[in-house]
Amino acid sequence: MRTLECELLVVGSGPSGAVTAALLAEAGHDVLLAEEGPDLSSDSAENYSYAEMDTKYRHGGLTTTFGGTNITYIEGRCVGGASEINAALYHRPHDETLEKWARDYRIDGFGSAELEPRFSSIEQEMKTSRRPHGLSPASNRLHEGSDKLGWKSGEIERFWRYEKEDGRWGRRQSMSNTMIPRARAAGCRVEAHLRVRKLIFEGDRCVAVQALSGKTELVRVVFKEIFLCCGAVQTPTLLRRSGITKHVGDSLRLHPMIRIAARFDDVVNDPDWGVPVRQVSEFKPDLTLGCSHSSIPHIALWLGQAVQDKRSVLEEWNKVAVFYAAVCGEGTGTIRALPFVDQPFIRYQLTKKDYGLLAAGLMRMGELVFAGGAKEIFSPFEGGASLKGPGDLKAFENVDKKSAVNVTTIHLFSSCPMGELDTCPVDSWGRLKGTQNVHVHDASLLPTSPGVNPQGTIMAIARRNTEHFLGA
């Protein structure tokens, strides 16, 4: 068995792991950043292509929860994690959400004032920006529809850089383009294809991990402190596999989403623009409406089962766009590590309120795209007929666990909530309770749903906790 040694081990190289590793290395520590996926450049594959899914997604994106309604989700599995595959949208959470977390979960030194300098640092370092050259045709249709309905909407900032060398379309500020180069420049070692399988304890100290390099090589890593940044699914799975089970993986939350494909009479889909960046904020935080990436494979996926001749629709793919309704989920789920199985078992139950919000989201989205000029909406319900106008929207009135509809998510969190409540497995600063040197710095820390894209919040909390560890 090969042995690696370091002072500080960071497991997972997504947004939280990259921030943590960079700050620790820049403070002069000997840091090893372990990533189970490959080390690829941000432009190694076309965005949202099969090649990207095959190389950068866990299980090619084919992952799901179980329960009354199965929910498909995606995880990044490469150096840079989810930041390499997401839309790079950036939101600050509502101040009321942060204050409620601090109050309800008894989180010390936490709130909007405490996180303000961390958000400001992230926005400066990551080049948060808006598009300098206007918006995509689909975004403009969403804008047109929201204006007609009198709903608030706006362009969402992104981690995206627009400088001369980046060309007209700019450059995604993923972790492989930002924080990981910073970490490496400060001396951090990055070990790709290194999957940590189990934590090894001596009393209340974690002294080493067992890992697998590639498919067969066993590796032991020894260290003084370990930071788990594997994400809301993999962090609790690793802890439970290591015998740490108390309140771990018992409170998973997510943002359920339903998508629809809509056809227009003129061109609304131009792939050069990438992901549309306008959202309707009228109903936030409970409900967010927006437009998804609309490549031909994505359109084919969301046309639904009722479309008999998909080929004819796809021949005019540039007149079709995919839209989504995302809700602030109230339900919770559990994550369990299964023996002899790599994939964890996730059970998630949507609540009656969740189903009601999804139905309301479909209704609102239908109103929005018809107001924006859509001529047809392809029903997301199996066997459902296409909708030709606002009068047909009654078909969206009911969503429940018996509905044959695809529910998805791209935001998962809250599986190891932080705080001083007895039910919180992690303390106010990210230390795993009952241990001296195990720290959790990822999406699993968020006490409940943030109601917005969580990446910025995750990075701010990782920065806060790392600075506390360093005594800054």
Contact 243, 435 (CB under 8 A): no
In a domain, 67, yes or no: no
Beta bridge pairs of residue 259:
324
How many whole angstroms separate alpha carbon 285 and alpha carbon 327? 8
Q: Of 409, 437, 460, which residue constitutes the final position of a domain? A: 409
List the one residue out of 54, 74, 52 whose CA is nearest residue 63. 74
Residue 420 lies in a domain: yes
Question: Is 60 contained in some domain?
Answer: no
Q: Are residues 318 and 425 in the same domain?
A: no
Alpha carbon distances (Å) from 44 to 39, 54, 61, 99: 10, 12, 17, 41
pLDDT category of residue 310 using cuts at 50, 70 and 90: confident
Q: What is the pLDDT of residue 306?
A: 63
What percentage of the chain has pLDDT greater than the value 70?
Answer: 99
Residue 386 and residue 421 in one domain: no
Same domain, 394 and 459: no
- Of 84-98, 223-237, 271-285, 294-308, the poorest mean pLDDT is in 294-308
CB 426 within 8 A of CB 433: yes
> Is the pLDDT reported for residue 307 higher than 80?
no
The predicted structure's pLDDT at residue 256: 95
Which of the listed residues 409, 435, 460 is the one where a domain comes to its end?
409
**133 part of the active site:** no
Q: Are residues 423 and 386 in the same domain?
A: no
Please give the single-letter amino acid code of residue 56. Answer: K
Coil, helix or strand for 459? helix
In a domain, 58, yes or no: no
Please report the pLDDT score of residue 261 as a whole number: 94
E-strand spans in 77-148? 128-129
Domain boundary, last residue among 356, 378, 409: 409
Between residues 28 and 382, the one the model is more confident about: 28
**Does one domain contain both 288 and 234?**
no
**Do 235 and 307 share a domain, yes or no?**
no
Instruction: Please indicate, yes or no, whether residues 391 and 425 belong to a single structural domain of this protein.
Output: no
pLDDT of residue 164: 87
- Does 277 lie in the same domain as 333? yes
In a domain, 61, yes or no: no
Catalytic site residue from 143, 255, 293, 411: 411
Q: What is the pLDDT of residue 459?
A: 98
Whether residue 105 is found in the same domain as residue 242: yes
Q: Are 403 and 422 part of one and the same domain?
A: no
Range of the domain at 239: 2-47+81-88+91-125+174-250+416-470
Q: What is the pLDDT of residues 163-204, one digit of tens each?
A: 988 888 899 999 999 999 999 999 999 999 999 999 999 999
The answer to whether position 346 is within a domain reads yes
Number of domains comprising the chain: 2
CATH code of the domain covering residue 216? 3.50.50.60
- Looking at the structure, tell me whether residues 292 and 382 fall in a common domain: yes
| β-pair type (194-202, 31-34) | unpaired
CATH for 366: 3.30.410
pLDDT value, residue 291: 93
Edge to edge, the sheet with strand 158-161 lists 128-129, 158-161, 171-172
Let me know if residue 383 belongs to a domain. Answer: yes
State the amino acid at position 174 in one-letter form.
S
Task: Determine, yes or no, domain membership for 71.
Answer: no
Q: Answer yes or no: do 282 and 232 share one domain.
A: no
Cα(361)–Cα(38) distance, integer angstroms: 37
